Structure 1
């Protein structure tokens, strides 16, 4: 029974101990909001070609990839048109609302409500344009979901200027642990999936990736020399597998945490530069920093830690005076 009680206390402390700092909350809110806003601005001028009735892929063809009961942006547009509001007006309102909601998240003005509405709009857009979505869109949805769960606008936000009452204490650790476990599982199975096929063992997947039609357009690196040095492709392939599969192990160990975060972020920077997947890489870097960069035990943030810290300083001063 004693062993069980110890295990229970450890599990309880792991999920509910709120001694960690809250800096990650404001960082995640601002960084995720900025990435989501920039991602939307990058497609702002092409919005009609992706999501309107004049889309590159006609809406009726796109509709074959989702169920009739699913709400999508084209369906919402049609319903609004039935009450006399044109598609152009709906699109303008949607664009404006998307940007304003991102700004509200960034500045911390009712971030949870803003994230909830923005998530609804973003899913409507995603479900109505399955041909154009990729990893960044899915991680955008998940980021907005965590922004709904986290009390992120309780710290370093404009909302605090409008609150006359005292700041409430929030125990956000269960959600943070869920977030940390989430990213650990995602990396592990991403690496495990690569391990199952031989294409990553012999470097073939790396060779194909760097020669994709949409890849390497911004910097135009010459990778032809790698054909005579295939061991580099093999090394990169296995390095990716090891970084991802070992992520749940080494990122939780304090001594190896920073090194593994550095390796993971370096991997995503490489993906951004070579494959031009800037927003996917950016959102993954934000996830890594949010979850584990602020885990340093040396940072004093909780009330009890501050009290103990001041007590130690007081004792040191008294010792110096007595001596």
Structure 2
């Protein structure tokens, strides 16, 4: 019974013990808001071709795969047109609103409300043009969801500066643990999915990925020599599977946490440079740093505090 109570206490402390480490909140808010803003600015020149009634793929075709109850951008446009507002005006209002909400998130000006409104707008654009969406868009939605849950505008925020407010003492540990478990599960099943086939073990998936039409367009690296050294492709494939599947185990284990964090970030830097998936890689790097990099700094602060207390307390013991 005593062991059971101790186990329960450890579980309770893990999920609910107050965490005074707040630097990750400011980093997550500013980094995610900046990346979403930059990605939207990159899409803006092609906004009409992706989301308007004159898009490359007609809206009625994309609407076939969208439930009737789902609010999409095309439905918003149609509703406002029935109210006498032209589509061009709606598009302009959408662009201004998106940029404004991103700015509110970055600066911490009621960022939770801004994240909620931006999430609705982002999902409306995403679900209305699902043919143009990929994994990073779904991670964007999840990032905005966590910005709603986290009290991110309570620390290092423009709102507190303007209204001279002190940060409210709130326990965000449950949300932080949820976020950490979420990313751990995502990596594990991503690695498991790769491990179930043979394409990643023999390097075939790596070879196909680096020769996709959109890949390697910035650096233009000649990878043809890898055809004669297929063991390198297999090594990269094996490494990817190991990094992802072992992520939940080694990222939580303190002696290997830092190493696994750097391995994962290095993997995403490679994906960004070779496959040109900059947005996806940036999102995943931010998730990793937010969840586990600041754990390292928090542990160092606790250790240095204990060391200082011991140094102050020891001489008193000796004198007595």
Classify the TM-score, shorter chain.
over 0.9
Q: Is there any run of 5+ residues in structure 1 with no aligned partner, and where?
A: none
- Which residue of 2 is the match for residue 155 of structure 1? 155
1-structure distance, mates of 2:166, 2:259: 39
1-structure distance, mates of 2:163, 2:69: 41
- Which residue of 2 is the match for residue 28 of structure 1? 28
Task: After TM superposition, list the pairs within 5 Å mapping 1:63-74 onto structure 2.
Answer: 63-74=63-74
How far apart are residue 116 of structure 1 and its match?
0.2
Q: Answer yes or no: is 1:6 the counterpart of 2:6.
A: yes
Task: After TM superposition, list the pairs within 5 Å mapping 1:103-114 onto structure 2.
Answer: 103-114=103-114
- Which residue of 2 is the match for residue 204 of structure 1? 204
- Which residue of 2 is the match for residue 298 of structure 1? 299
What are the Cα deviations for residues 181-203 of structure 1, in whole angstroms up to 9, with x where unaligned? 00000000000000000111111
What are the Cα deviations for residues 107-161 of structure 1, in whole angstroms up to 9, with x where unaligned? 1000100000000000000000011111110100000000000001111111111
TM-score (norm 1): 0.94
How far apart are residue 163 of structure 1 and its match?
3.5
1:202–1:159 distance in 2 versus 1, CA, 3 Å: same
1-structure distance, mates of 2:315, 2:84: 75
- Which residue of 2 is the match for residue 41 of structure 1? 41
Tell me if structure 2 keeps the 8 A contact 1:201–1:237.
Answer: yes
Tell me if structure 1 keeps the 8 A contact 2:194–2:200.
Answer: yes
Task: After TM superposition, list the pairs within 5 Å mapping 1:139-154 onto structure 2.
Answer: 139-154=139-154
How far apart are residue 98 of structure 1 and its match?
0.4
1-structure distance, mates of 2:78, 2:315: 73
User: Which SS does the other structure have where 2:130 is aligned?
Assistant: coil
Q: Answer yes or no: is 1:253 the counterpart of 2:253.
A: yes
How far apart are residue 280 of structure 1 and its match?
0.1
What are the Cα deviations for residues 214-252 of structure 1, in whole angstroms up to 9, with x where unaligned? 111111110000000000000000000000000000000
1-structure distance, mates of 2:275, 2:178: 30
User: Which SS does the other structure have where 1:264 is aligned?
Assistant: helix
Tell me if structure 1 keeps the 8 A contact 2:19–2:171.
Answer: no
2-structure distance, mates of 1:318, 1:31: 46
- Which residue of 2 is the match for residue 262 of structure 1? 262
Tell me if structure 2 keeps the 8 A contact 1:24–1:294.
Answer: yes
What are the Cα deviations for residues 280-310 of structure 1, in whole angstroms up to 9, with x where unaligned? 0000000000000011243437xxx97x777
Task: After TM superposition, list the pairs within 5 Å mapping 1:170-319 onto structure 2.
Answer: 170-296=170-296, 297-300=298-301, 312=310, 314-315=312-313
Task: After TM superposition, list the pairs within 5 Å mapping 1:87-102 onto structure 2.
Answer: 87-102=87-102
2-structure distance, mates of 1:22, 1:6: 28
1:158–1:312 distance in 2 versus 1, CA, 3 Å: farther
Moved more, 11-20 or 211-220: 11-20
Note the aligned Cα RMSD (angstroms). Answer: 2.0
Tell me if structure 2 keeps the 8 A contact 1:62–1:131.
Answer: yes
1-structure distance, mates of 2:121, 2:89: 16
User: Which SS does the other structure have where 1:244 is aligned?
Assistant: helix
2-structure distance, mates of 1:128, 1:268: 29
User: Which SS does the other structure have where 1:216 is aligned?
Assistant: coil
Moved more, 212-221 or 114-123: 212-221
Tell me if structure 2 keeps the 8 A contact 1:35–1:283.
Answer: yes
- Which residue of 2 is the match for residue 129 of structure 1? 129
2-structure distance, mates of 1:185, 1:124: 27
Tell me if structure 2 keeps the 8 A contact 1:199–1:205.
Answer: yes
TM-score (norm 2): 0.95
Tell me if structure 2 keeps the 8 A contact 1:272–1:281.
Answer: yes
2-structure distance, mates of 1:127, 1:202: 36
> Which structure: greater helix fraction?
2
